[in-house]
Structures are given as structure tokens and as C-alpha cells.
Amino acid sequence: MNEKLSVLKNECLKCKACELGKSRTNVVFGDGNDNAKIVFIGEAPGANEDLQGKPFVGRSGKLLDEMCESVGLSRNTNIYIANTVKCRPPENRDPSPYEQRACAGWLKGQLEIMRPLIIVCVGRIAAQEVIGKDFSISRQHGEFFRHGKMYLTAVYHPAAVLRNINLKPATVEDLKKVRELYDKITAG
Ligand code: SF4
């Protein structure tokens, strides 16, 4: 148990700093190993996530878990998953720039406490927010970008993989590279 993260989570669960706080069922703070050094970041919760209060729990979340587990990455052991926006936008609309800004402090706080070695953005929107606004998921997925002591990378969103199963081998390969980099960093 990561005490600082628990304190931050308890504060976040009470947040009403933007309109999304009125319509949500649950705040989706994050899930996985609180002390993990690999943090996955998605965009915003969907309907299943809102109901269960956990990120990536629907069909696409199950696929993400399955692909991660095939390369030795798991929420039970070595990864943590969070979103840039913690409450579900109604009708799955995109979060507004105001909502994104209002919520940014929670993820920042999580990352300051957890100090990950590797951040894996899940999908284009999260990658454009975290890595850079010109990030191209089709051209740059699986590439690593150094940010201080941290490495940033991005993989296709599992919902995109469900729509086009041909993206699955490349996504598994990208996740394998994450695992290999993690092993290399932690071996030294
Ligand atoms: S989306 Fe973020 S800022 Fe808005 S109410 Fe939820 S936790 Fe607070």
C-alpha cells in the first residue's frame, strides 16, 4: 500500500472541480500495483469504468490485460493504470479542454508520488497529451522518448485493436519492448 497515493485518492474521490463531477457514478482514480514503476495512461473513463470505478475494465480493457499478461506485465504485479481525466464524460464525448485542465493535477500528483520509470500512453489522445500534440500513433507507436529519467512511449488503444485485429501483433510487440526496457533499467 502506498500511503501518499491513498491520501491523494481519497481527496480525488471527493473532487467536483468540473462539470463531470456532477454526472459521474464513480471517480476512476487508477488501478494496479501502487508502487509500480510502469504507469499506463489512458484518456477518460467509459461506461463500464464509471460503473466499476476502475480504468480499462470493458472488452477493450480485458484485451489490454491479456496483451500485457502475454509479455509479463500485470496490474497485480508490475503496472498501474490511470487516465488523464478521472470522471466519465457523458455519452462518451471527448473531455473539453477546460475539463482536461481542471483534472490534470490529479494525474500529476499520481506521477509525482509514483515516479515511474516508464509511462505507456494508451491511444493517440493520451499520447498527444502526454508526449506531444503532434504525436502520430500510426507512425510512432512503440518508440521511446526520454523525459529526464523517464521513458515515454505509446501503444494503440485496445479499442482500436478490437476494431482492427491486424494491429494486435504490433501492439504486443510494443508491450514486449516495454517489458524488455523495464528489465534492462532495473537490472543495472
Ligand atoms: S473530471 Fe477530474 S476535475 Fe472533474 S470532477 Fe472529476 S476528478 Fe474532478
pLDDT value at position 43? Answer: 95
Residue 101 Cα to ligand 1 midpoint, Å, equals: 10
From atom 1 of ligand 1, which residue's Cα is the shortest distance away?
87
- Ligand 1 pocket test target in 19, 84, 86, 93 with most atoms within 8 Å of CB: 86
In tens, the pLDDT along 87-119 reads 999 998 989 999 999 999 999 999 999 999 999
Q: Say yes or no: CB of residue 17 within 6 Å of ligand 1.
A: yes
**How far apart, in whole angstroms, are the C-alpha atoms of residue 56 and residue 52?**
10
Q: What are the phi and psi torsion angles at 74 (to 5°)?
A: -150, 145
**How far apart, in whole angstroms, are the C-alpha atoms of residue 136 and residue 8?**
32
Among the residues of 13-114, which ranges form H helices? Answer: 20-23, 47-52, 59-69, 97-114
In tens, the pLDDT along 18-58 reads 999 999 999 999 999 999 999 999 999 999 999 999 999 99
Residue 55: partners with Cβ closer than 8 Å, 6 or more residues away: 28, 30, 31, 42, 45, 49, 61, 81, 82, 83
Atom of ligand 1 nearest to the CA of 15: 8
**How far apart, in whole angstroms, are the C-alpha atoms of residue 71 and residue 2?**
25
Atom of ligand 1 nearest to the CA of 24: 6
- Domain range holding 134? 3-187
Helices 3-12, 97-114: axis angle to 10 degrees equals 160
pLDDT value at position 1? Answer: 77
- Read off the CATH number of the domain in which 41 is found: 3.40.470.10
What cell does 49 get? 469504468
Q: Say yes or no: CB of residue 107 within 6 Å of ligand 1.
A: no
The total of structural domains in the chain comes to: 1
- Work out the percent of the chain whose per-residue pLDDT is above 70: 99
In tens, the pLDDT along 47-80 reads 999 999 999 999 999 999 999 999 999 999 999 9
Q: pTM of the full predicted structure?
A: 0.97
DSSP calls for 96-125: PHHHHHHHHHHHHHHHHHH--SEEEEESHH
> pLDDT-derived band of residue 135, with 50, 70 and 90 as boundaries?
very high
Q: Are 85 and 44 in contact (CB under 8 A)?
A: yes
Atom of ligand 1 nearest to the CA of 44: 1
From atom 4 of ligand 1, which residue's Cα is the shortest distance away?
18
